[in-house]
Amino acid sequence: MTGKQVYHVLSMVLLVFVSAVFLRAEQDKGQEAEMRQPGREAETEMHQPKGWQFALPKGNPVKGRATFQKFECYACHEVRGENFPASDGESVGPELSQMGPQHPPEYFAESVIHPDAVLEKRYRGPDGKSKMPGFNDDMTVQELIDLSAYLASLKPEKMVRSVTGEGRVIVVVPEEQQVVLEHGAIQGFMGAMTMGYKVEPPKLLQGLHTGDKVRFTLDTEKNAIVKIEKLK
């Protein structure tokens, strides 16, 4: 092979190499642009986007009421203002007519499929678990969605703008701007329970610790605690 031929071969190899590098760079740019598109970011984060939170699709409260009747939920839960059959004895679960403003549909769904997740002592059976029967084998997903929508739609006829209660801090969750409280009954509004509340402004969470006894004011329209103070 002559020097001229060698030069020609090297030129071709260099051209192929440069073309390959350029093509790869263009492909990388295309992939980066694609990853910046809405919904693509999840693939770079273990298939879970930042801020992801489970959410139910919108349900039908009317059908949910029918589901409530179908599974005879009224046997354990009173709903003031409804004409469901009266319980044979003392209601096992909490009265539900004022629950809607306090919880999203997802909370009610969890209460049905995993009743032990958030449970007060008075609703525990001898085995320490919830007295609530299981419906996971009988209730369809759509029935669960609609039932949750019905429960979330329940509101008292006359709701005061704010209420005050006292309780104990179970846990503070600053990243979600929430505090979980175990509190007594709030007269005319809700029964004693353990639940999480959004806190506005979040600086109110500063200095709160598990076990603190507190007095709090709940804005029923915002569904958020707007004032909280420690009790001595």
Cβ contact 208:168 at 8 Å? no
What is 114-127 written as a DSSP string?
A: -TTSS--GGGB-TT
Bridge partner list, 194: 182
Residues 200-224 have a mean pLDDT of 92
The pTM of this model reads 0.59
61-153, which class in CATH? Answer: mainly alpha
Is the model's pLDDT at 168 over the cut of 60?
yes
CA distance 228 to 205: 8
Say what the alpha-carbon torsion angle 19, 23, 24, 27 is, to the nearest 10 degrees: 180
Burial of 38 (0-12, 13-18, 19+ CB in 10 A): exposed
Tokens of 23: 């093509």
Segment among 133-147, 161-175, 177-191 with least mean pLDDT: 177-191
pLDDT at 29: 57
Q: What percent of the chain has pLDDT over 70?
A: 77
Q: d(Cα 77, Cα 154) in Å, to the nearest integer?
A: 13
Query: Nearest Cα to 58, choosing from 152, 153, 149?
Result: 149
pLDDT at residue 125 tops 50: yes
User: 102: which residues sit within 8 A by CB, 6+ positions away?
Assistant: 190, 195, 223
H or E segment and range at residue 217: strand 213-219
pLDDT tens by residue, 40-84: 554 555 677 777 888 899 999 999 999 999 999 999 898 988 999
Domain boundaries, the chain: 3-44, 61-153, 162-230
Q: Does domain 162-230 have CATH number 2.40.50.320?
A: yes
Q: Which of 5-14, 49-58, 70-79, 99-108 has the lowest mean pLDDT?
A: 5-14
Q: Report phi then psi at 18, rounded to 5.
A: -65, -40
- 228 within 8 A of 199, measured Cβ to Cβ: yes
Crossing angle between the packed helical segments 141-153 and 61-70, to the nearest 10 degrees? 110
Least confident of 8-22, 55-69, 74-88, 180-194: 8-22
Q: Report pLDDT digits (tens) over 19-48.
A: 554 555 556 555 555 555 555 554 555 677
**Cα–Cα distance measured from residue 11 to residue 18, given in angstroms and rounded to the nearest whole number:** 11
Q: Can you read off the two tokens belonging to residue 157? A: 């006829």
